[in-house]
């Protein structure tokens, strides 16, 4: 929306003290959530050693967060309507802060994973309420536009900041400070909450589909457990089949509950669009690749190549910054050449980069990884933005919160499944006795895991074929 004047005067965009403090509280909270998306990856090897976790178990430190975060996103938009955004933001902030403190003092893997579940729920509440509260705080006009630009920058570079900051903290005071960092930020933001505008609630007599959300999260968690268990040495095939059957039954139950719910998580009409469904699949595939690759390189670079956590964080900037570039370039190209072209080219770049790593004979060197990370980053960024446009394209104002939640939920759920898949492949190549695997077995496991990730990119490319080929102007509807 463009304001009806040639340019804002300096006084027109100057924020009052109350607005500046509100912006600081909301921006710090959103930055905390975006940093959390990557900061823990840097510390994964240290957490594994510190708590004595196996590869199959340590991936749950990230998967637990992603599953609870993605599963809560859709439900939290409904909670915001019922209880008010400021109340929900406060509750989410308190939960993230408390769960971060519990993560920092965790004395076992089980405690840490449970704390990460709570942290994911709190992060979802913050993520879905912070931006609407920012809009309410600043109102319409140039001040709001500038603040939204700052918001975009926080989202774009939060992941990179997490990698760099996580390396410094892990190599310095230790991995527990990766979680402890959230505590003072959360407390400071909570003290400023009274400055945020109180929005009115819109309660409805129809119950929320809390049961459906719980079933979906349980099904995905059980599916991830099934994948890891299937590749665990000396595992039980019967137990794996039972878990798989349970996950399928829960997914079927979720569909049944949704079809009968008075207020389903997703309005059925939203999923009748081929373009929107294809976009969700592309997002899911992109999530599996990004999080899977981060875990693979985090473990390999620090355990096999001897990288420090800080050096790993710097290495991964070669992935995160190109992904930002890819998203901006992909958006511009999509407006001219269509979503299908951008998503397919992006996924093709990802697949090519991953396959290049599988073709390196023997153990991978840092140079091999560094040479392909920019290609993978640009490709995932372009595919992500094309799929994001596809999911939100044509949505009404009433459906916008749901489509936004679907975007983030699909990417997060894909990340959780991707972590389970790659960790399962790595576990399969470890020795049954638990002793350190020989270098050639480590290399074989890494090559296989990258090949599996390339296969997931192919799935994303096939889904991209179903996206619309023409331009992607937001005014055009795709539901009809």
Kindly report, residue by residue over 310-337, the tens digit of the pLDDT.
Answer: 999 999 889 988 998 998 898 888 878 8
Task: Check whether 437 has a pLDDT greater than 60.
Answer: no
- The answer to whether 93 and 29 are in contact (CB under 8 A) is yes
Q: Specify the pLDDT at position 34.
A: 86
Residues 2, 142: Cα–Cα separation, whole Å: 9
Tokens representing residue 356 in the block: 């290049």
Residue 39 CA to residue 178 CA, distance in Å, equals 7
> For residue 174, is pLDDT > 90?
yes
Query: Quick one: pLDDT band at residue 144, thresholds 50, 70, 90?
Result: low
Q: In sequence order, what are the residues at sequence separation of 6 or more whose Cβ sits closer than 8 angstroms to the Cβ of residue 430? A: 55, 233, 437, 441, 445
Regarding predicted confidence, which is higher, 27 or 346? 346
* Arithmetic mean of pLDDT, 94-109: 94
- Average pLDDT over every residue of 401-421: 83
Task: Count other Cβ atoms within 10 Å, centred on residue 224.
Answer: 27
DSSP 366-381: HHHHHHHHHHHHHHHH
Q: Report the predicted TM-score, pTM, of the whole model to 2 decimal places.
A: 0.83
Residue 82: other Cβ atoms inside 10 A: 13
The pLDDT score that the predictor gives to residue 235 is 63
pLDDT given for residue 147 in this prediction: 65
Confidence band, pLDDT 50/70/90 cuts, at residue 478: very low
Q: How far apart are CA 436 and CA 426, in angstroms?
A: 12
**3-state class (DSSP) for residue 169:** helix
Is the pLDDT at 12 greater than 60, yes or no?
no
As a whole number, mean pLDDT of residues 62-84 equals 80
Q: For residue 237, count CB atoms less than 10 angstroms from its CB and return exposed for 0-12, middle for 13-18, buried for 19 or more.
A: exposed
pLDDT of residue 79: 79
Asked whether the predicted pLDDT for residue 204 surpasses 60, the reply is no
Per the prediction, the chain carries an average pLDDT of 81
pLDDT by residue (tens digit) across 145-161? 666 667 767 777 788 88
The pLDDT assigned to 471 comes to: 47
pLDDT greater than 50 at residue 26: yes
Looking at residue 383, what is its pLDDT? Answer: 93
Q: Is the pLDDT of residue 216 over 80?
A: no
DSSP, collapsed to helix, strand or coil, labels residue 137 as: helix
Q: What percent of the chain has pLDDT over 70?
A: 84
Query: Which carries the bigger pLDDT value, residue 480 or residue 357?
Result: 357
Q: Is the pLDDT of residue 461 over 90?
A: yes
Flag whether pLDDT at 438 surpasses 60: no
Give the mean model confidence (pLDDT) for residues 262-269: 73
Residue 477 in this model has a pLDDT that exceeds 50: no
Quickly state the pLDDT bin for 2 (edges 50, 70, 90).
Answer: very low
* Reported confidence tier of residue 201, pLDDT bands at 50, 70, 90: low
* pLDDT of res. 1: 33
């Amino acid at each position: 929306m463009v304001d009806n004047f040639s340019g804002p005067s300096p006084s027109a965009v100057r924020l009052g003290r109350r607005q500046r403090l509100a912006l600081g509280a909301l921006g710090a909270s959103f930055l905390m959530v975006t940093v959390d998306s990557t900061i823990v990856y840097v510390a994964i090897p240290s957490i594994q050693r510190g708590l004595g976790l196996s590869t199959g178990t340590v991936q749950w430190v990230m998967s637990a967060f992603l599953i609870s975060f993605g599963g809560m996103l859709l439900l939290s938009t409904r909670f915001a309507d019922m209880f008010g955004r400021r109340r929900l933001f406060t509750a989410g902030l308190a939960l993230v802060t408390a769960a971060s403190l519990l993560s920092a003092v965790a004395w076992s893997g089980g405690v840490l994973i449970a704390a990460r579940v709570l942290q994911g729920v709190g992060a979802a509440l913050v993520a879905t309420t912070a931006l609407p509260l920012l809009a309410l705080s600043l109102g319409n006009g140039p001040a709001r536009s500038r603040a939204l630009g700052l918001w975009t920058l926080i989202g774009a570079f939060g992941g990179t900041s997490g990698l760099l900051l996580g390396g410094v903290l892990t190599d310095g005071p230790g991995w527990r400070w990766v979680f402890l960092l959230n505590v003072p930020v959360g407390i400071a933001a909570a003290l400023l909450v009274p400055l945020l505008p109180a929005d009115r609630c819109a309660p409805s007599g129809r119950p929320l589909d809390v049961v459906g959300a719980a079933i979906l999260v349980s099904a995905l968690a059980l599916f991830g457990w099934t994948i890891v268990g299937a590749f665990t040495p000396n595992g039980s095939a019967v137990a794996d089949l039972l878990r798989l059957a349970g996950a399928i039954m829960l997914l079927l139950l979720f569909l049944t509950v949704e079809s009968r719910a008075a207020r389903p998580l997703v309005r059925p009409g939203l999923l009748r669009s081929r373009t929107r469904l294809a976009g969700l699949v592309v997002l899911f595939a992109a999530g599996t690749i990004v999080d899977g690759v981060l875990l693979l390189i985090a473990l390999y670079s620090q355990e096999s190549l001897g990288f420090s956590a800080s050096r790993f964080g710097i290495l991964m900037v070669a992935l995160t910054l190109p992904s930002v570039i890819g998203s901006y370039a992909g958006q511009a190209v999509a407006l001219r050449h269509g979503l299908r072209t951008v998503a397919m080219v992006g996924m093709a770049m990802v697949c090519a980069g991953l396959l290049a790593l599988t073709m390196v004979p023997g153990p991978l060197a840092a140079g091999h990884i560094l040479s392909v990370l920019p290609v993978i980053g640009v490709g995932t960024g372009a595919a992500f933005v094309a799929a994001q446009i596809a999911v939100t394209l044509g949505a009404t104002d009433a459906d916008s919160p749901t489509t936004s939640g679907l975007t983030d939920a699909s990417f997060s759920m894909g990340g959780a499944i991707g972590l389970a898949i790659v960790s399962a492949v790595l576990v399969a190549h470890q020795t049954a006795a638990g002793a350190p695997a020989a270098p050639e077995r480590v290399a074989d496991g890494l090559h296989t895991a990258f090949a599996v990730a390339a296969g997931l990119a192919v799935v994303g490319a096939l889904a991209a074929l179903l996206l619309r080929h023409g331009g992607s102007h937001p005014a055009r509807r795709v539901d009809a």
